[in-house]
Chain A
Amino acid sequence: MNSSLLLSAATFIYALASVFYIGSFSFKKQALARFGFWVIVIGLVANTCGILLRWLESYHMGYGHAPFSNMYESLVFFSWTAAALYVFVECKYKESIIGVFVSPLIFLGIAYASFDPSITSKITPLIPALKSNWLIAHVITCFLGYAGFALAFGFSFMYFIKPKEAGARSLFAKLPEWDIIDELTYQMIVFGFLFLTIGIITGSVWANSAWGKYWSWDPKETWSLITWFIYAIFLHLRLMRGWHGKKLAVVSIIGFLGVLFTYFGVNFFLSGLHSYA
Chain B
Amino acid sequence: MFFASVKLTVYTLVLLALTSIIGTVVLQHGSPEAYIRLYGPGLYNMIQVLHLDRMYQAWWFLMLMVVLCINIVVCSIDRLSATWKIIFPENISVNPRRFEKTKNRQQFESHLPMDRFARQAKQILAGRNGKVIEKNDETGRFLYAETGRWSRLGVYVVHASVLMLLAGALIGSALGFKANLRLDEGQAADTVFNAYTRLPIKLPFTVRCNDFQVKFYDTGAPDEFKSSLTILENNQESFTEDILVNHPLRYKGINIFQASYGPTTPDKAVFEITDGETGTVETHTIKNGGVVPLPAGAGNFIFEGFLPHYSFNGHDLGEAFIGRLDTTRGNNAQIVLPTRFPTFDKMRKGRFTVEVKSWDQAYYTGLQVTKDPGVPFVYTGFLLMIIGCWVTFFVSHQSVCIGIEQAGSGSTRVWVAGRANRNAQSTNLTVKKLVKQLKDVPN
Complex partner residue of B386 from A127, A201, A232, CB under 8 angstroms:
A201
Say whether A197 contacts B389, CB under 8 Å. Answer: yes
Say if the beta carbon of A167 comes within 8 Å of chain B: no
- Stretch of B8-16, B329-337, B399-407 lying at the A interface: B8-16
The answer to whether A226 touches B20 (Cβ under 8 A) is yes
Contact B16 A229 (CB under 8 A): yes
A233: which of B10, B25, B224, B248 is its contact (CB, 8 Å)? B10
> What separation, in Å, do the CA atoms of A63 and B217 have in the docked complex?
9
Q: Is B13 a contact of A183 with CB atoms below 8 Å? A: no
A229→B17 contact, CB < 8 A: yes
B118 at the interface (CB under 8 A from A): no
- The answer to whether A240 and B6 have CB atoms under 8 Å apart is yes
Residues of A within 8 A of B224 (CB): 128, 131
Q: Does residue A60 face the partner (Cβ distance < 8 Å to B)?
A: no
- Inter-chain CA distance A191–B425, complex, in Å, is 14
Q: Which residue of A lies closest to B103 (CB)?
A: A179
Closest-CB distance, B366 to chain A (whole angstroms): 12
The listed residue (A212, A229, A266) touching B13 by CB distance below 8 A is: A229
Which of these binds chain A: B109-117, B377-385, B433-441? B377-385
Does chain B have a CB within 8 A of A198? yes
Tell me the bound Cα distance from A54 to B61 in angstroms. 45
A213 to B180, CA, bound (A): 13
Bound-complex Cα distance A93 to B426 (A): 11
Which residue, of A129, A190, A211, has the highest number of chain B Cβ atoms within 10 A? A211
Question: By the criterion CB–CB under 8 Å, are B385 and A225 in contact?
Answer: no
Q: Which residues of B contact A226 (CB under 8 A)?
A: 17, 20-21
What 0/1 pattern do residues 236 to 273 of B give for CB contact below 8 A with A?
A: 00000000111110000001011100000000000000
B: number of interface residues (CB 8 Å): 49
**Distance in Å: Cβ of B42 to nearest Cβ of chain A:** 24
Contact with B along A183-200 (1 / 0, CB 8 A): 100010011011001100
Specify which of B17, B178, B223, B386 is in contact with A212 (CB 8 Å cutoff).
B178
**Does A26 touch B at the CB level, under 8 Å?**
no
Distance in angstroms between the alpha carbons of A81 and B224 in the assembled complex: 31
Q: A130 to nearest B CB, angstroms?
A: 9
Q: Are A230 and B17 in contact (CB under 8 A)?
A: yes
Instruction: Find the A residue at minimum CB distance from B219.
Output: A125
Please tell me if the beta carbons of A183 and B17 are within 8 angstroms of each other in the complex. no
How many A-B contacts are there with CB distance less than 8 Å? 110
CB pair A217 B178 closer than 8 Å:
no
Q: Within 8 Å of chain B (Cβ to Cβ): is A121?
A: no
In the bound complex, CA of A208 to CA of B378 (Å): 11
By the criterion CB–CB under 8 Å, are B382 and A201 in contact? yes
Bound-state Cα–Cα, A41 to B219, Å: 38
Please tell me if the beta carbons of B386 and A222 are within 8 angstroms of each other in the complex: no
The minimal Cβ–Cβ distance linking A241 to chain B, given in whole angstroms, is 6
A119, B231: Cα distance in complex, Å = 45
Q: What separation, in Å, do the CA atoms of A128 and B21 have in the docked complex?
A: 30
| Nearest-neighbor residue (CB-CB) of B55 within chain A | A217
B28 at the interface (CB under 8 A from A): yes
Q: Is the CB of B246 within 8 A of A129?
A: yes
A23 within 8 A of B: no
In the bound complex, do residue B370 and residue A217 qualify as a contact, i.e. CB atoms below 8 Å apart? no
- Residue numbers in B under 8 Å from A237 (CB-CB): 10
Confirm or deny: B133 has a beta carbon within 8 angstroms of a beta carbon on chain A.
Answer: no
Q: Would B13 and A222 count as touching, CB distance under 8 A?
A: no
Is there contact, CB below 8 Å, between B24 and A223?
Answer: yes
Distance in angstroms between the alpha carbons of A211 and B386 in the assembled complex: 23
Q: Are B24 and A210 in contact (CB under 8 A)?
A: no
- B56's partner among A92, A128, A217 (CB-CB below 8 A) is A217
Which of A187, A210, A266 interacts with B257 by CB under 8 Å?
A: A210
Interface contact B245-A241, CB-CB below 8 Å:
no
How distant is the Cα of A230 from the Cα of B10 in the complex, in angstroms?
9
Which residue of chain A is the closest to B424 with respect to CB atoms?
Answer: A183
Kindly state the separation between the CA atoms of A187 and B396 in the bound complex, as whole angstroms: 13
User: Are A125 and B225 in contact (CB-based, < 8 A)?
Assistant: no
Once bound together, how far apart are the Cα atoms of A183 and B378, in whole Å?
Answer: 33
The answer, yes or no, to whether B84 is at the interface (CB within 8 Å) is no
Give chain B residues whose Cβ lies under 8 Å from the Cβ of A211: 257, 259, 368
Least CB distance, B137 to chain A, in whole angstroms? 31
Residue interface bits A215-242, CB-to-B below 8 A is 1, else 0 = 1010100110110011011001100110
Which single member of B6, B178, B223 contacts A213 (CB below 8 Å)? Answer: B178
Question: Whose C-beta in chain A lies nearest to the C-beta of B75?
Answer: A240
Residues in B with CB closer than 8 Å to A193 are 389, 393
Known: A194-B390, A210-B257, A212-B255. A205 touches B382 (CB 8 A): yes
Q: Which A residues lie within 8 Å of B246 (CB)?
A: 128-129, 131-132, 209-210
List CB contacts (< 8 Å) of A104-132 with chain B.
Answer: 124-125, 127-129, 131-132
B221 at the interface (CB under 8 A from A): yes
Chain B's closest residue to A228 (CB) is B17
The answer to whether B219 touches A212 (Cβ under 8 A) is no
Judged by a CB distance under 8 angstroms, whether B408 is at the interface is no
Q: Which residues from chain A contact B222 at a C-beta distance below 8 Å?
A: 127-128
Does any Cβ of A come within 8 Å of B140's Cβ? Answer: no
CB neighbours (8 Å) of A183 from chain B are 424-425
Contact A213 B10 (CB under 8 A): no
Given A194-B389, A219-B24, verify A212-B370 contact (CB < 8 Å): yes
| A230 to B375 Cα, complex, angstroms | 26
Query: How far, in whole Å, are A212 and B17 apart by their CA atoms in the complex?
Result: 25
List the interface of chain A (C-beta within 8 A of B).
Answer: 63, 92-93, 124-125, 127-129, 131-132, 183, 187, 190-191, 193-194, 197-198, 201, 204-205, 208-215, 217, 219, 222-223, 225-226, 229-230, 232-233, 236-237, 240-241, 266, 270
Ordered by A's residue number, 16 sampled pairs between the chains whose C-beta atoms are within 8 Å are: A124-B219, A125-B221, A127-B221, A183-B425, A191-B393, A201-B382, A211-B259, A212-B257, A212-B370, A219-B24, A222-B23, A223-B24, A229-B14, A236-B9, A236-B13, A240-B9
A-B pairs, top 4 by smallest CB distance, nearest first, are A212-B370, A128-B245, A240-B6, A229-B17
- Given A125-B223, A193-B393, A205-B379: 7 more A-B contacts, CB < 8 Å: A127-B221, A128-B223, A194-B389, A197-B385, A209-B246, A214-B378, A223-B24
